Chains A and B, each alone.
Chain A
Amino acid sequence: DAGITQSPRYKITETGRQVTLMCHQTWSHSYMFWYRQDLGHGLRLIYYSAAADITDKGEVPDGYVVSRSKTENFPLTLESATRSQTSVYFCASTVGGVRDEQYFGPGTRLTVT
């Protein structure tokens, strides 16, 4: 499918488990992002990547790990899930440039019990 996809769309996991959220884009965009959306906070940046093998922390990176071995994939791993990581997670990408609006995936709703 063309565009940006995320999987799974819904996930329930237990505290302490490791979970990986997948993100795939077909545009060959250089930049990719992970945001989390919590009520009252809008979206907050977790990690971003400017290119394959280049990643860096955003505003709320603690407890998360990312990798980007291929341009099109940007997985987000919660190493040991906590209840505070219950959220909706959005992946986004942009080609860069002056305007470079970000294109978002459909989101993954994660519940940590």
Chain B
Amino acid sequence: AQKITQTQPGMFVQEKEAVTLDCTYDTSDPSYGLFWYKQPSSGEMIFLIYQGSYDQQNATEGRYSLNFQKARKSANLVISASQLGDSAMYFCAMREGQDMGRRALTFGSGTRLQVQP
């Protein structure tokens, strides 16, 4: 079974509007962390936001927020006031508690976001 599922291969959004990128995860471990990374066309991976499984509040980092619904096992990324520079590939990733020894991430297949002027 897929541990991280991103069901939207591509998304379009108008500049200045908000957009939600979906991510669902599968784990039986009570302790885990969820991450979002941005990959622009230049190829580098840029960390955006983190949510821990025990965090009581949804994470926010500037225009990025994470809509964490633990019971539904979803960790959707919300980008407010989209900018042209937000056009990129976005990856959701998870680190499970049992992986604390190696701290490796499991990635979803990504969502390509295109911001239109």
Contacts and interface: CB of A to CB of B under 8 A. Distances in A.
Contact of B105 (A56, A88, A102): A102
B107 A104 contact: no
Nearest to A101: B47
B104 A33 contact: yes
A100 to B, nearest CB: 6
B64 to A, nearest CB: 13
Interface in A32-90: 33, 35, 40-45, 48, 50, 56, 58, 88, 90
B107 A58 contact: no
A94 B35 CA distance: 14
Given A50-B102, A106-B43, A107-B44, A99 B107 contact: no
B104 A103 contact: no
Interface of B: 4, 33, 35, 37, 43-47, 50, 52, 91, 93, 101-110
Interface of A: 31, 33, 35, 40-45, 48, 50, 56, 58, 88, 90, 92, 94, 96, 98-104, 106-107
